[in-house]
Amino acid sequence: MDIDTPEFMEYFLDFSVAVTGFSRFDLQGTGQVSLYFSTIRGIIGDQIFGELLQTFHDLDRKAKRENNQSVLTDGISFEILVSGKLGPIARNIIKLWYTAIWYQLPSPWQEKFGARQNDITFIVSPYAYPEGLLWPAIGVNPPGAKAPGYGTWSEPPSVKLS
């Protein structure tokens, strides 16, 4: 499967929006879309990555055609996330967006679908860390990055611990 076409990048963005809960604007604003796409592609290969994105796209089209969003959400749950083949990849993509870390795929997955040398746990880029979705999701700045500015220490924290 040739995923060099621009529509697969669009499928990746649409899939990422659906599984992270963040908008396209937010995801594109991280500046990590191309890096994440190429990283995932390099680790799992075009065939399986293309299969994941095409499965999502088909579900998305069906949901729009039937004007029924539950077709998409149920499809993501039952055709992607619980799949022995696509589920571990989809969950890794979610974790990648939130933490900027690619986690090595489970050994059973590697044995069944093929392990690659570059499938190890690693931080994708030092620039990706402060752009992780974890930080806006919990309402804080990433430690050691994106300082809020001089004097903000005098203001009470915005995080509610209740």
Residue at 1 is within a domain: no
pLDDT value of residue 150: 76
Q: Mark 14-32 as b/e (b = at least 16 C-beta within 10 Å).
A: bbbebbbebeeeebeebeb
Backbone torsions φ then ψ of 142, nearest 5 degrees? -65, 135
Structural domain of residue 66, as residue ranges?
6-147
Backbone torsions φ then ψ of 9, nearest 5 degrees? -65, -40
If one counts the domains in the chain, the total is 1
> Which residue, 138, 76, 131, 80, is CA-closest to 101?
131
* C-alpha span between 109 and 106 (Å, rounded): 5
* C-alpha span between 23 and 91 (Å, rounded): 18
146 confidence band (pLDDT: 50, 70, 90): confident
Residue at 142 is within a domain: yes
What is the tens place of the pLDDT at every residue in 12-43?
Answer: 999 999 999 999 999 999 999 999 999 999 99
pTM above 0.75, yes or no: yes
Residue at 162 is within a domain: no
Residue at 58 is within a domain: yes
Residue at 157 is within a domain: no
Residue at 155 is within a domain: no
Query: Following DSSP, what letter does each residue of 32-80 receive, concatenated?
Result: -HHHHHHHHHHHHHHHHHHHHHHHHHHHHHHHHHHT-HHHHHHHIIIII
Residue at 154 is within a domain: no
Give me the residue label for tokens 């908008």.
23
* C-alpha span between 36 and 138 (Å, rounded): 22
> For all residues of the chain together, what is the average pLDDT?
92
162 confidence band (pLDDT: 50, 70, 90): low
Among 50-54, 129-133, 138-142, the minimum mean pLDDT is found in 138-142
Residue at 143 is within a domain: yes
* C-alpha span between 146 and 41 (Å, rounded): 29
